[in-house]
Amino acid sequence: MVQQLSSTDTEIIDTEIIYPDSDGQPMADNTKQFEWIVVIKENLELLYADNPDVFVAGDLLWYPVEGNNKIRQAPDAMVAFGRAKGHRGSYQQWKEGDVPPQVVFEILSPGNRRTEMNRKLLFYERYGVEEYYEYDPDRVEFSGCQRKEDGLEIIDFTDSWVSPRLGVRFVLKPETLEVYKPDGERFLTFVELGKLLENTKATLEDTKVALETSDAKNKWLMARLEALGVDPDTV
Residue 165 structural domain: 10-187
Checking if the pLDDT of 193 tops 90, the result is no
Classify residue 2: in a domain, yes or no. no
Kindly report the CA angle at 81 between 75 and 82, in degrees rounded to 5? Answer: 130
Answer yes or no: do 86 and 150 share one domain. yes
Percent of the chain with pLDDT over 90: 64
Average pLDDT over residues 196-225: 66
Average pLDDT over residues 72-85: 97
12 falls in which pLDDT band (50, 70, 90)?
A: very low
Q: What average pLDDT does range 79-95 have in this prediction?
A: 97
N-terminal to C-terminal alpha carbon distance within the chain:
97
Same domain, 52 and 152: yes
What is 157-170 written as a DSSP string?
Answer: -SSEEE-TTT--EE
Residue at 147: amino acid letter: R
Shared domain for 58 and 150, answered yes or no, is yes
User: How confident is the model at residue 196, as a pLDDT?
Assistant: 74
Tens-place pLDDT, residues 95-121: 999 999 999 999 998 888 889 999 999
Nearest to 196 by CA among 207, 185, 183: 185
Total count of domains within the chain: 2
In this prediction, residue 199 has a pLDDT band, given cuts at 50, 70 and 90, of: low
Q: Are residues 40 and 126 in the same domain?
A: yes
Residues 73 and 26 in one domain: yes
Do 97 and 201 fall within a single domain? no
pLDDT of 29: 85
pLDDT classification of 47: cutoffs 50, 70, 90? very high
